[in-house]
Amino acid sequence: MALRTLDTLGSLAGKRVIVRADLNVPLKDQVITDDGRVRATLPTLNALINQGARVIVCSHLGRPDGAPDEKYSLAPVAQRLSELLGKPVAFARDTVGESAHEAVAALADGDVAIIENLRFNPGETAKDDAARRAFAEELAALGDVLVSDGFGVVHRKQASVYELAEILPSAAGFLIEKEVDVLDRLTENPERPYAVVLGGSKVSDKLGVIEHLLPRVDRLLVGGGMMFTFLAAEGHKVGSSLLEQDQLDRVKGYIATAKERGVELVLPVDAVVAASFAADAEHVVAPASALEDTAFGAAGLGLDIGPETAAIFADVIRGSKTVFWNGPMGVFEMPAFAAGTKAVAQALTEADGLTVVGGGDSAAAVRQLGFADDAFGHISTGGGASLEFLEGKKLPGLEVLGWQ
């Protein structure tokens, strides 16, 4: 079965349409530091507004413990959404209580309201099916139709994602439709050569995606903290760098599999080694085969790929027709260790083909480093959901919308 999309719902004029968005934005002192996820909802919201729907936006933010917590309020998001839409957005101070019902009752055709953080209600993330169902029934009372558009949560069986989609007529919004289309292209008949660039801190976070994609890719590039487990598996000493000893045998297996399948496994040839994990730490570039031969000895730790590696990675990326990138190449939050991540991002903008930034830290990195979203083929809004899709897992929030 194919994914049910907006056009399957017919005319939505005058209907109360609940939009399950993913507005889980980073906040600092109640100020949004990256509004990418809010902007990603705009195509769907504008389409519904233009149809004359009465739009009720709902989302989670952070991990409140099933009870109201002011620091996780969606109030700043409602304000930003109003600015981006260029029209007032009503804000309900609860999820399914009096304020929510009043806000929805006051909507005219084309109006928008946003209800408070779904996770202020314990039913949203309850392990118990009945508790989730009960909360979903309360949410369903607010609307006539559900448009599911929060790709970042489709791998979770949560009340607003799964049970609500069973109760109300439901379909995917434009964001989920695009995510599924792009990620499906990465697993089914991608244009070749196909390169996957993996970074981030841990190999253990990427086991499933490596196993699922290794038979499908032409080139696998490994950077970030996880590169040291690969380098150690090849017999190199890595000092005090991040190392997952319990994954060494598995990584040796990946290296052997890549060789058997003719996959070009591109590992770092140098790294930026620092005296300590600090933005102002003394640091030097060292060959991958001599990471402990710096002045820091075995105490040194690698915090970025080196410049030679960055150049090699960039060449491979530019020479590929399909590129998926997930995970920064170093501690990009610290300027001294951001060069590798910046080089990879720059190369993606120059590649002639489909380039996909796989959400999470990678999406945050490209924005923090000054790249525009439209410089890439696609920036995923769901880090964990993207990886699980690429691992070949069944995602409940997609299955309930007809995706098989």
360 among the known binding-site residues? yes
In the annotation, is 223 catalytic?
A: no
The b-or-e profile of 128-160 (16+ CB within 10 A means b, else e) is eeebbbebbebbbebbbbbbbbbbbbbbbbbbb
Rounded Cα distance between 123 and 130, Å, is: 9
Rounded Cα distance between 359 and 390, Å, is: 13
262 among the known binding-site residues? no
48 among the known binding-site residues? no
Q: Taking CA 386 as the corner, what is the angle to CA 219 and CA 47, rounded to the nearest 5 degrees?
A: 125
In the annotation, is 261 catalytic?
A: no
Find out whether 172 and 3 touch, Cβ atoms under 8 Å: yes
216 among the known binding-site residues? no
* Active-site hit among 39, 202, 237, 250: 202
333 among the known binding-site residues? yes
22 among the known binding-site residues? yes
Q: Which two tokens stand for residue 78?
A: 């409602």
Give the residue ranges of DSSP H helices in 290-356: 307-318, 339-350
Give Cα separations from 153 to 22, 42, 207, 285, 385 (angstroms): 7, 18, 20, 39, 7
* Active-site hit among 52, 97, 319, 384: 384
Contacts of 323 (CB under 8 A, 6+ apart): 194, 195, 196, 197, 317, 348, 351, 353, 354, 355, 356
24 among the known binding-site residues? yes
Stated as kind and residue range, the H or E segment containing 259 is: helix 248-261
In the annotation, is 143 catalytic?
A: no
Find out whether 161 and 396 touch, Cβ atoms under 8 Å: yes
* Active-site hit among 123, 358, 360, 382: 360
In the annotation, is 384 catalytic?
A: yes
361 among the known binding-site residues? yes
Stated as kind and residue range, the H or E segment containing 181 is: helix 174-187
Find out whether 177 and 3 touch, Cβ atoms under 8 Å: yes
20 among the known binding-site residues? no
60 among the known binding-site residues? yes
Q: Left (φ > 0), alpha (ψ -120 to 50) or beta: where does 297 sit? A: left
* Active-site hit among 4, 16, 37, 80: 37
62 among the known binding-site residues? yes
The b-or-e profile of 272-303 (16+ CB within 10 A means b, else e) is bbbbeeeeebebeebebeebbebebeeebbbb
362 among the known binding-site residues? yes
Q: Which two tokens stand for residue 66?
A: 């099933």
Give the catalytic positions in this structure. 37, 202, 360, 384
Q: Tell me the binding residues for substrate.
A: 22-24, 37, 60-63, 119, 156
Q: Tell me the binding residues.
A: 22-24, 37, 60-63, 119, 156, 206, 302, 333, 359-362
Q: Tell me the binding residues for ATP.
A: 206, 302, 333, 359-362
